[in-house]
């Protein structure tokens, strides 16, 4: 059985988030300014900061500290409380950015961390329902990775004819 591989545009960009108060106390205008901050990281993604720093050409930076949490959402809570800088998937921090619980220092430095692919049996590749679903994945993926995400709306499932 042969399969078609579709990349449906679903990617995960990672960006920075911190509390507005922390950014007022210790402004971040450049990558070098990150050295004056504590990096917040989740045990589930211990290499996320290292990968992101490499991708922006800043692997050599030295930070005043790191704080590791059991789960990513605890990193977000710590960032909201002004304890440091969180790095996370843009769709997961979008609501906090929109609600202004977090701000995004260096917003132009979002980096792709993962992309998702769908494997579809060739016999279903031209099926209208399959095409509709993959098109919906593409559209939602684009929305989730652009600007801050869903802009306050819930994603809608595709209509299948």
Instruction: State the total domains in the chain.
Output: 1
Bridge-partner residues for 17, per DSSP? 86
CA distances from 147 to 11, 101, 160 (A): 13, 16, 28
Beta-carbon-side half-sphere exposure of residue 34 (alpha carbons within 13 Å):
25
Print the domain residue range for 6: 1-156
- CB neighbour list of residue 80: distance below 8 Å, 6 or more residues apart: 19, 96, 101, 102
Per the listing, tokens 């809608």 go with: 156
**Cβ-contact 49, 94 below 8 angstroms:** no
- Is residue 42 one of the residues assigned to a domain? yes
pLDDT at 47: 87
Residues 128, 67: Cα–Cα separation, whole Å: 48
**Cβ-contact 11, 112 below 8 angstroms:** yes
- Is residue 81 one of the residues assigned to a domain? yes
- Is residue 61 one of the residues assigned to a domain? yes
pLDDT at 156: 39
CATH number where 98 lies: 3.40.190.10
pLDDT at 161: 42
Residues 110, 149: Cα–Cα separation, whole Å: 13
pLDDT at 106: 84
Predicted model pTM:
0.68
Q: What is the pLDDT along the chain (161 residues), one digit of tens a residue?
A: 666 655 555 556 778 899 999 999 999 999 999 999 999 999 988 888 998 898 888 889 999 999 999 999 999 999 999 999 999 887 788 889 889 899 988 877 655 555 667 777 888 888 899 888 888 877 776 666 555 443 443 333 334 34
- Is residue 161 one of the residues assigned to a domain? no
């Amino acid at each position: 059985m042969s399969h078609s591989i579709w990349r449906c545009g679903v990617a995960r960009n990672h960006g920075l988030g911190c509390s507005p108060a922390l950014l007022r106390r210790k402004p971040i205008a450049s990558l070098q300014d990150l050295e004056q901050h504590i990096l917040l990281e989740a045990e589930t993604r211990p290499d996320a900061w290292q990968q992101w720093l490499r991708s922006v050409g800043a692997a050599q930076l030295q930070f005043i500290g790191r704080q590791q949490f059991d789960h990513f959402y605890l990193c977000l809570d710590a960032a909201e409380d002004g304890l440091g800088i969180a790095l996370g998937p843009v769709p997961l921090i979008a609501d906090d950015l929109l609600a202004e619980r977090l701000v995004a220092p260096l917003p132009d430095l979002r980096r792709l961390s993962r992309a998702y692919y769908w494997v579809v049996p060739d016999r279903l590749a031209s099926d209208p329902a399959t095409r509709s679903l993959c098109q919906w994945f593409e559209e939602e993926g684009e929305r989730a990775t652009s600007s801050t995400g869903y802009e306050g709306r819930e994603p809608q499932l595709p209509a299948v004819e």
